Amino acid sequence: MDLNADLGESFGTWTRGDDAAMFPLVTSASVACGLHAGDPVTMLDTCRAAYELDVRVGAHLGYPDLAGFGLRSLDMTFDDLFGAVLYQLGALDGVAHAVGASVDYVKMHGALYDRTVRDAEHAAAVISAIQAYDPGLPVLGFPGSALLETAREAGHPVFGEAYPGRAYLPDGTLVPRPQEGALLQDAGEIAGRAVRLATKGEIEAVDGTVIRVRPDSLCLQADTPGSAAMAAVVRKSLADAGVELEPFA
């Protein structure tokens, strides 16, 4: 099982998350590419740390919305979104290569992640840009999403992820982050859900419905208080359950 986290989200003098504490706990790092978060120095430091710790680097692609941290859905044209994706891929890929690393997969962020679950047009723009840049680049996303279906049809390797630290609705989607209870806080509960996902391929929704899902990766929260300590409990619980941790890419 792969463990991924969104890292490299600091910008200038503004710090988000504790990347130094998270890096030893994950096998894949989705790195902000400078449009929704991150900056050249942060990208460089993050890619260097990933390379030194043998953590896979993913391009974490978002809307061009630094002020809103990429959490606001933008009605971009196909060409504008196509260009924004290419811009981010090129930027992170160049920085990664400078320190000996490489971009091994892509993942959407925030509002773009949510939008491409159901919006086929936005999914098509994103995948067309990825296809133009690197036809074999793996895509990590939400199982059953328009993004993964479009990527699969275009010939990209696709991988699904699950969120042990997020509450699920009965239809298999996530409770929106602004809603109360969307983010779980108990490390033991989160670890138990992670082990259940990895060993049984299932997770319980807010109403008790058991949702079947076979994730290739588990996404760990990295930007909430105590997230590194929670991630450490998750990793240890998976190891104790006999789950081998390795990158999916």
Residue 176 contacts residue 110 (beta carbons within 8 Å): no
Dist CA 238 CA 235 (whole Å) = 5
Q: What is the pTM (predicted TM-score) of this model? A: 0.96
Contacts 24+ apart (CB under 8 A), 94-102: 95/40, 95/43, 95/44, 95/47, 96/47, 96/51, 96/57, 98/44, 98/47, 99/44, 99/47, 99/48, 99/51, 100/51, 101/47, 101/48, 101/50, 101/51, 101/57, 102/57
Helix, strand or coil, per DSSP, at residue 32 = strand
- Tell me the pLDDT of the chain (249 aa) as tens digits: 999 999 999 998 989 989 999 999 999 999 999 999 999 999 999 999 999 999 999 999 999 999 999 999 999 999 999 999 999 999 999 999 999 999 999 999 999 999 999 999 999 999 999 999 999 999 999 999 999 999 999 999 999 999 999 999 999 999 988 889 999 999 999 999 999 999 999 999 999 999 999 999 999 999 888 899 999 999 999 999 999 999 999
